């Protein structure tokens, strides 16, 4: 009887290996390069360490850093490496959780010393020593009671609390040298694999995210198998910092926040308001052109409305406390949809009236914990570019295709061309008739096909009240942002008993579709600032031209140009200060306006202007009217 086992690889090829071989050894049989890159494996669909032995015929897939699972394993292993280094340097440190995150890892630590950026260098140096020690990373399993006893002996109180939440039975620990941590795994085989890393920052974090609990110190870091990849990532982080919408917002005087008045609330300054107004006016114009009507709804509603909609049942934690008016409880709105439904119910609708496409730039308020607030990207008060479509079953397929077409056109006009769709389908628990789910999902699928979009299926990932499409866009530096949502809702029409009169004279339930195109104006403007690095195209730029005089004699011509441009619907800014030309031009360039125009003696006499386009060193001289026409053409073409 042969002691060889058959290993089936993802490409359906078969490798033979001695029974009892470790996955690391089997990976070597496949290829030495793969063995070096391997971090873990999926054995018969189960994620496991490379130290695992195989004694039967199995399906095998090797996990490397190139995959999402691989990065998760690598970064989680790096968090253990960092924790071991911290423990060596600060023996009193107690560890909470240290997960991998989207772009690296962190560990929450309770310790006496308040860490500084300089301390991170010492921790990195200790991490490098541990890498050089080439410590094997070993999995240990033990009964939960024994694990509690072990962590009690080393005073790891947070691990004991985590263990208390786990069911009885065996738990796993991962040990490297003298350090052991409670962990599900898998992890890398040896610390020598974690050569390239960088600790990035320190922040505060409440234990379990609860403000009533102790504040811990959170160290963020990132790691890569290769130093070149680490440098590339660090360069990317620097580019992200340069594009930070909060910094650019200050530099261009677009918006501010004021903690003393209320966190997560945005104050739009004149230039920011110009940008927002330009965006919203264009949004309204295009919605009217595409068959939408614009609604306005109140900011508050009686609590009975939110009881009917169900928000008080499943969304209460994100809603603000009621205020009493005339003996009734009123709540500031977190959503626009119930108000749109109430407008629908003011009339009796026939199938001939449908579809109805109703849109609103409605300001809503939702509670967010202070720790997650982030400039324009995460706020407590925001304006949602909301729309609701009410239609018949016969109309739904065409409506979804049209709303997706419209959304994609808007995104491409705004300068985002790398767009991917995510289709989320029916979950296990849902409301609504099965045939409605089938019709809805089929309409979403066909719309994606007709748009020829890249798509990723999220099977069972839909909301309980309907399937949806999410559109994610990539910005100028490759980051993906979730933006447009096209969401069916089988819940609210039932709760509000919505209906229309069909061709048969009977009541029928309309299809209801939520559609947020930009998501929220605040968040979108934050993304827009970072996408363009504040260098907005002329049609969006809050200041399109900065006009500069050489001397006092040209002030009248400059003001005349300014007034003419305003009359033509353009957005100029003048700089008549008694400063040097070099200084004024540098200041103008720093404001990132599309054009800087200089008017000196010759220009004033000849009816010309010296024009410098953003990003170009040289200026050209042209007739003033020719400049107006050039700028107007650029704006009209949305370039």
Active site residues: 337, 366, 384, 386, 388, 468, 514
Strand (E) positions, 14-81?
A: 14-18, 21-22, 40-43, 46-48, 53-54, 58-63
**Quick one: the chain helix, strand, coil %, rounded to 5?**
40, 30, 30
d(CA 48, CA 54): 11
Between CA 309 and CA 489 the distance in angstroms is: 12
Which SS3 state, helix, strand or coil, does residue 160 take?
A: helix
Q: What are phi and psi of 139, to 5 degrees?
A: -85, 135
Under 8 Å between Cβ of 432 and 491 = yes
Token representation of residue 172: 């796993």
Single out the residue of 289, 88, 90 nearest to residue 176, CA to CA. Answer: 88
SS3 195: coil
Nearest to 82 by CA among 233, 230, 227, 200: 200
Report the alpha-carbon distance of residue 364 to residue 625 in Å, rounded. 44
For the sheet with 572-575, list strands across it: 572-575, 545-549, 595-599, 608-613, 620-623
Give 334's DSSP letter.
S
DSSP 8-state secondary structure symbol assigned to residue 429: S
3-state secondary structure 460-486: CCCECCECEEEEEEECCCCCEEEEEEE
- End-to-end, the C-alpha distance of the chain in Å comes to 74
For residue 523, the surrounding DSSP H or E stretch is helix 521-532
Instruction: Count CB atoms within 10 A of the CB of residue 555.
Output: 14
Nearest to 50 by CA among 77, 78, 16, 82: 77
Maximum distance among all alpha carbons in the chain? 103
Alpha helices in 59-135 (DSSP H): 68-89, 117-133
**With b meaning 16 or more CB within 10 Å and e meaning fewer, what string describes 284-306?**
eeebeeeebeebebeeebebebb
């Amino acid at each position: 009887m042969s002691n060889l086992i058959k290993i089936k690889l993802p490409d359906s090829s078969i490798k033979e290996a001695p029974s009892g071989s470790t996955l690391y050894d089997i990976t070597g049989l496949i290829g030495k390069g793969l063995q070096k890159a391997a971090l873990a494996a999926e054995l018969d669909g189960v994620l496991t360490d490379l130290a695992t032995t195989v004694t039967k015929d199995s399906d095998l897939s090797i996990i490397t850093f190139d995959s999402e699972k691989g990065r998760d394993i690598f970064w989680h292993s790096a968090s253990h490496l960092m924790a071991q280094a911290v423990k060596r340097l600060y023996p009193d440190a107690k560890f909470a959780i240290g997960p991998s995150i989207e772009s690296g890892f962190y560990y929450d630590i309770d310790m006496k010393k308040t860490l500084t950026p300089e301390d991170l260098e010492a921790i990195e140096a200790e991490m490098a020593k541990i890498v050089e020690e080439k410590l094997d990373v070993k999995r240990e399993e033990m009964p939960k009671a024994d694990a509690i006893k072990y962590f009690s002996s080393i005073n790891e109180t947070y691990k004991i609390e985590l263990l208390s939440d786990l069911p009885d039975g065996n738990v796993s620990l991962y040990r490297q040298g003298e350090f052991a941590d409670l962990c599900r795994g898998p992890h890398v085989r040896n610390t020598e694999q974690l050569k390239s890393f960088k600790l990035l920052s320190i922040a505060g974090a409440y234990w379990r995210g609860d403000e009533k609990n102790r504040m811990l110190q959170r160290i963020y870091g990132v790691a890569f198998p290769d130093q070149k990849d680490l440098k590339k990532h660090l360069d990317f982080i620097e580019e992200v910092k340069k594009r930070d919408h909060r910094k650019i917002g200050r530099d261009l005087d677009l918006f501010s926040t004021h903690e003393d008045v209320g966190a997560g609330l945005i104050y739009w300054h004149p230039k920011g308001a110009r940008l927002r107004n330009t965006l919203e006016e264009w949004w309204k114009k295009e919605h009217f052109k595409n068959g939408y009507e614009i609604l306005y709804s109140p900011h508050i509603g009686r609590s009975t409305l939110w009881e009917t909609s169900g928000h008080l049942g499943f969304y209460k934690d994100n809603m603000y406390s009621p205020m009493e008016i005339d003996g009734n409880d009123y709540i500031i709105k977190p959503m626009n949809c119930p108000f749109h439904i109430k407008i629908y119910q003011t009339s009796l609708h026939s199938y001939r009236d449908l579809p109805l496409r109703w849109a609103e730039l409605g300001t809503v308020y939702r509670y967010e914990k202070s720790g997650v607030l982030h400039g324009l990207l995460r706020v407590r008060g925001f304006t949602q570019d909301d729309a609701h479509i009410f239609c018949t079953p016969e109309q739904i397929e065409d409506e979804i295709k049209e709303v997706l077409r419209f959304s994609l056109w808007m995104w491409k006009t705004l300068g985002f061309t790398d767009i991917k769709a995510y289709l989320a389908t029916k979950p296990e628990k849902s409301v609504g008739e099965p045939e409605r789910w089938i019709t809805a999902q089929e309409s979403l699928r066909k719309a994606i096909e007709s748009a020829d979009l890249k798509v990723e299926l999220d099977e069972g990932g839909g909301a309980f009240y309907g399937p949806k499409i999410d559109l994610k866009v990539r910005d100028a530096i490759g980051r993906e942002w979730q933006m447009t949502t096209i969401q069916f809702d089988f819940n609210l029409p039932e709760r509000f008993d919505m209906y229309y009169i069909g061709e048969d004279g009977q009541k029928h339930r309309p299809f209801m579709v939520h559609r947020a195109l930009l998501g929220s104006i605040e968040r979108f403007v934050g993304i827009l600032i970072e996408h363009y690095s504040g260098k907005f195209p002329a049609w969006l730029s809050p200041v399109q031209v900065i006009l500069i005089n050489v001397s006092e004699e040209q002030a009248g011509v400059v003001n005349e140009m300014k007034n003419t441009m305003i009359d033509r619907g353009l957005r100029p800014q003048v700089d008549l200060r008694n400063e040097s030309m070099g200084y004024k031009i540098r200041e103008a360039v720093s404001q990132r306006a599309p054009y800087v125009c200089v008017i000196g003696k010759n220009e004033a006499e000849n009816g010309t202007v010296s024009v410098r386009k953003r990003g170009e060193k040289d200026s050209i001289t042209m007739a003033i009217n020719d400049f107006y026409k050039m700028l107007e053409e650029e704006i009209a073409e949305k370039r």
